Amino acid sequence: MNLALFDFDGTITVGDTFVPFVRFAMRRRRLPIATARFLPVGIGYQLGWVSAAQARPVLVRLALGGEQSARVADLGVSYSRTVLPGVVRRQAMDRIKWHKDQGDAVVVVSGSLYTYLSHWCRPLGLDLICTQLEESGGALTGRYAGRDCIGAEKVTRIRERYDLTAYPVIYAYGDTEDDREMLGLAHKKFYRWTEA
């Protein structure tokens, strides 16, 4: 059995799913204030002064901080069933199926949120390592539970969960600089679906 590591946004999907989910889950009444407060960060991101890793926690705090966990969890189920099927690449699904048919362990390793990714991965029998939202007293705090699962954190989490020496071949699939460290673990690496 080999190990196949897949980034989600931009690799399995045709684009980002994180920001669309936050918009999907945010209450309308929060939109004007959240937009105004996020605007400087958003401009900084567009100009390249603020990284996605810096911008996304701010967005989560403004849009989802204080929301009932159960409500956002229900929206995660809905998002996984109604939105994600429309943005998943056929090429990615074919490759995942190929790995599953070989008996490989297939893992989605993503900075996107457990709230919706868990409901997409579970029916497909895929393992999941990702970013999780922190909860307290039945509500979201607006922070992450642990670190954002990007860059070097992906490698840390993979190594915590898997004994990499147990797999004859490790495959990795990614599409951004945040996936480079994960690709570095692999014998066979694919960057934007081209073998590197």
**For each successive 10 residues of the chain (196 residues), what is the average pLDDT?**
97 96 89 77 81 87 94 97 97 98 97 97 97 97 95 97 97 95 97 94
* Bridge partner list, 133: 144
pTM above 0.85, yes or no: yes
Separation of alpha carbons 61 and 59, rounded Å: 5
What domains does the chain contain, in order, with CATH numbers?
A: 3-195 (3.40.50.1000)
Separation of alpha carbons 64 and 25, rounded Å: 8
Separation of alpha carbons 100 and 4, rounded Å: 9
17-54 pLDDT, tens digit per residue, is 999 999 999 988 877 777 777 877 778 878 889 888 88
Query: What sign does the CA torsion over 196, 45, 13, 111 have?
Result: positive
Model pLDDT, residue 110:
97
Ramachandran angles phi, psi of 137, nearest 5°: 60, 35
Separation of alpha carbons 35 and 187, rounded Å: 43
User: Is the distance from CB of 191 to CB of 6 less than 8 angstroms?
Assistant: no
Model pLDDT, residue 175:
96
